[in-house]
Amino acid sequence: MAAAAPALLRPYLAVFAGRFLQMLQYRAAAIAGFATQCWWGATKIMIYAAFYATAPQAAGALSLPQVITYTWLAQALLVLAPWNGDPDVALAVRTGAVSFDRVRPVDAYAWRYAAAAAWITARAVPRAALMFALAGVALPLLGLGAWSWQAPADLSAAALFVPSLALAVALSSAFVMLINVCVVATLTDRGINTLMMPLAIIFTGNLLPLQLFPDWARTALFLQPFAGVFDIPFRIYFGQLAGASAALGLALQLGWTAVLAAAGWLWLQRVMRRLQVQGG
C-alpha cells in the first residue's frame, strides 16, 4: 500500500513538474510582468501615502508601513489571484483536444488541478523573487527603507505564513479549476474570465486591503472564500492573526479549498459525461 500511493500520485506529480518547468521558460513574460507590477505597486503606494498623510487617524488597523508591505506582497504574488482559467484548457476546448481528457487513465480533475497549481507556482516564483530583490533588498539599500517590503512581524508569524501561502496556492488552484470547468461547459474562456476578474481583484484584497473597506463589511469579507488568497496569509504575515485566530484563518483556507475542489470535481464529472467537442 505504501508503494501504491506514490505510484498513484506519479502522473499528477509528473504533470506538475512538467508544467512547472515549462512555465519557467517564459522569462520575458516574467520580466514584463515584474515591470508592470513595479509600476502598479509604486502608483498604489504613492496614493496610499497621500491618503495616510491627509488623515492618519482614519487608517484603522493597518499602518502605512504595513500597507506598503501589503502592496509589494500582493504585487509579488499577483498571479495567485484566480481571475483567469488555465489558457491550456481554453486552447484544448478550442481545438477539441479536451476530448483526450476523457481517455487518459487518470482523474481528469486531479490532473488538470496539478497542472493549474504548477502554472500558478511557476509564474509566482520568479516574479516574487524579483520583487523581493527590488522592494525588500534594493529599496532599503538605496535609503528608501520607508517604502520597502518589510519582514514578517515575528518568527511565529513567519512560520505560520509558510503553510498559509501554500494553502493560498491550493485555494487559488481550486478557483482556477472552477473557471476551467466553466470554460469546458461554455466552450469559450472570454466570458468567465471577464466575470471572474473583478470578483478576484476585489475579494482577494488585491485591489485594496480588505481591512481598508468600511468596517461594517469586515466579518463578511473575512469569511468569504477569496480572502484566503491574499488577505488571510498577509494578516498572518503582519501578526494580526496569531494563535487561535491564525488557526481560524488557516482553517478557512483549507475549508474553502475542500469545498471548491469538491464542487469543481462534481461539476467536471457532469460536464465530461455530456462533453461537446468542437474543432477539427
Partner 1 sequence: MGPIRLLGRYFRASVHAQAQYPGSLAMLSLGAFVANFVDVIAIAALFARFGQVKGWTFGEVAMFYGVVSVAFAFADFLSRGFDVLGTEFIRTGAFDRLLLRPRSLTVQLVGHDPRLSRVGRLAQGLAALALATVALKFRWDASAVALAAWTVLGGVALFSGIFMLQATLAFWTVESLEVANLLTYGGVQAAQFPLSLYAEWFRGVLIFIVPLGCVAYFPVVGLLGRHDPLGAPDWFLPLAPAAGFAFLAAALAVWRVGVRHYTSTGS
Q: Give the Cα separation of 256 and 223 in Å (integer).
A: 10
Interface segment toward partner 1; rule CB under 8 A; list 130-138, 182-190, 236-244, 252-260: 182-190
By C-beta, is 4 or 274 nearer to partner 1? Answer: 274
- Cβ neighbours of 67 (radius 10 Å): 20
Closest distance of CB 266 from partner 1, Å: 21
What b/e readout covers 26-41, taking b as 16+ CB neighbours within 10 angstroms? eeeebeebbeebbeeb
Q: Give the Cα separation of 26 and 57 in Å (integer).
A: 45
Per CB under 8 A, contacts with partner 1 among 187-206 are 187-188, 190-192, 194-198, 201-202
Closest distance of CB 244 from partner 1, Å: 28
Q: What is the DSSP string of 71-96?
A: HHHHHHTGGGS--S--HHHHHHHHHT
The number of residues that bind partner 1 (CB under 8 A) is 39
* Contact (CB, 8 A) for 222 and 210: yes
Closest distance of CB 64 from partner 1, Å: 12
Q: What is the DSSP string of 150-168?
A: PPPSSHHHHHHHHHHHHHH
Query: Which residues are CB-neighbours of 119 under 8 A, at least 6 positions away?
Result: 19, 23, 86, 88, 176
Compute CA 137 distance to the chain's CA centroid, rounded to the nearest angstrom.
24
Per CB under 8 A, contacts with partner 1 among 205-234 are 207-208, 212-214
By C-beta, is 33 or 225 nearer to partner 1? Answer: 33
By C-beta, is 13 or 188 nearer to partner 1? Answer: 188
Decide if residue 267 touches partner 1 (CB under 8 A): no
By C-beta, is 26 or 132 nearer to partner 1? Answer: 26
Q: Give the Cα separation of 254 and 241 in Å (integer).
A: 16
Closest distance of CB 245 from partner 1, Å: 23
**x-or-dash string of contact with partner 1, 21-60, rule CB under 8 A:** -------xx--xx-xx--xx-xx--xx--xxxxxx--xxx
Closest distance of CB 200 from partner 1, Å: 10
**Footprint of partner 1 on this chain (CB under 8 A)?**
28-29, 32-33, 35-36, 39-40, 42-43, 46-47, 50-55, 58-60, 186-188, 190-192, 194-198, 201-202, 207-208, 212-214
